[in-house]
Structure 1
Amino acid sequence: MSARLPSWAWVTGLTTGAIAVVAVLAVQADQGTKPTAATSRPSASATVDAKPSAKPEEEKPAVVPADSGTGRRIVYSLDQKRVWLVDASDAPRRSFTVWPGTVPPDPGAYTIGTRTEATTGSDGVAVEHIMYFAAKSGVSVAFSNAVDGSSPPPPAPDAQTGGIRVAKDDGKALWTFGTAGTPVRVVE
């Protein structure tokens, strides 16, 4: 006749065995290689030589052109293809590059006139934040941004476009800053 072991004995034996296996695995893991955190820092030359990949123009502070007037204004440089939003103390609050149209405004002083929330540009692209400030050769010149945030397609060789496109976030900032009557100074 054989004696039966009580269930508590089986449970105790299995638990003891499991604990022993875990202890053996822990000892083996402790004796293996261990990951270490990288403690080295990038070299000074790596930091200095690193070049940003997206819109480096925006990361460099751009100086407002000296011949752009004074006071609160929008400054547009034809040569630099750049706009500055300048506050009343003559401090630039924002600066960004633009995609000019084929009909540039003449250098001089203008003001924001008509503002249109959204329309279709002469290139067929849906645009918003349109702010007209000049006209030349029968073409209206205005700042705007594409609704989808895209850059404008290259204009056809004979196209007469006065739209000065800006990036979407810059368009929002320009729209907020450039209320009707805001001075615009165009410089070379």
Structure 2
Amino acid sequence: MPSSSAGIVTGLVTAALVTIGVLAHQASDGVPGDLGRTRATTSPAPGATKAPRDRRHPDALPAGSGTGERVVYSVDDDRVWLVGPGNGVRRTFGVSPGTVDPAPGVYTVTSRSNQVTGSDGVPIEHVVRFTGAEGVAVGFSAAVDGSTSKPDPDRRTGGIRESRADGDAMWEFATIGRQVVVVP
């Protein structure tokens, strides 16, 4: 084959591979969170035992919850901290967990959806998924109607519900790849 034909074939193959990569990336945005389930990459620091760490300041960021910009979620306290540069807490708020809790550890945001229907049938917005547990996707979301009621204990749900205002803040802060630290 002449060298110009080989160059054309190489160019076509390269273009095809780039197109496949772009389509795969776009398709991954719509994949349920539990299909590409991530595992905790590390455990929280040894000092991260049970929140709140400071009884006089229950909203204080848990010691040993990592460094850098991140989301910190305390399973025991049903509380979230959005942590900016220099360990500065941008926002903290209470949440209503689903019936399935993520294991303590360090995760990353793997997918997001602007609006979907939750596993409990409730329309939700600003879904930020970071792992899966017991066959369900686990992530933060806000009910479109603003409700944060406790989930049906007979259903396995991984949605950690926030108010709509807190959901807006989470949506802006927790982009794909953002670290999520889960502490007990």
TM-score (norm 2): 0.67
Gaps of 5+ in 2: 1-56
Give every structure 1 segment of 4 or more consecutive aligned residues whose post-TM-superposition deviation is greater than 4 Å: none
- Match of 2:171, as an amino acid? W
Is 1:147 aligned to residue 149 of structure 2? Answer: no
Supply the RMSD in Å over aligned alpha carbons.
Answer: 1.2
Work out which of the residue numbers 61, 71, 76 in structure 2 matches 1:74.
71
| Matched position secondary structure for 1:169 | helix
Between the aligned residues of both structures, percent identity stands at: 53
Residue 118 (1) aligns with residue 115 (2): yes
Paired position in structure 2 for 1:97: 94
- CA distance in 2: counterparts of 1:83 and 1:164, whole angstroms: 10
For 2:181, give the aligned amino acid.
Answer: R
Using the alignment, how far apart are the partners of 1:155 and 1:78 within structure 2?
Answer: 15
Give matches, 1:150-169, under 5 Å: 150-152=147-149, 154-169=150-165
Deviation at 1:138, TM superposition (A): 1.1
Are 1:173 and 2:177 matched, yes or no?
no
CA distance in 1, matches of 2:58, 2:83: 13
Q: Is the 8 A contact 1:67 1:187 kept in 2?
A: no
Deviations 1:42-101 (A, max 9, x none): xxxxxxxxxxxxxxxxxx771100021001000000111000000021010000000000
Residue 81 of structure 2 is matched in structure 1 by 84
Distance in 2 between residues matched to 1:115 and 1:162, nearest whole Å: 14
Query: Where do 5+ consecutive residues of structure 1 fail to align?
Result: 1-59
C-alpha distance in structure 2 between counterparts of 1:156 and 1:85, whole Å = 28
Task: Give, in angstroms, the shift of residue 116 of structure 1.
Answer: 0.4
If asked which structure has higher relative contact order (CA below 8 Å, sep 6+), I would say: 2
1:14 maps to which residue? none
Count residues in correspondence: 128
Q: What letter corresponds to residue 116 of structure 1 in structure 2? A: S
For residues 167 and 73 of structure 2, the distance between their equivalents in structure 1, rounded to whole angstroms, comes to 14
Bigger Rg, which one: 1
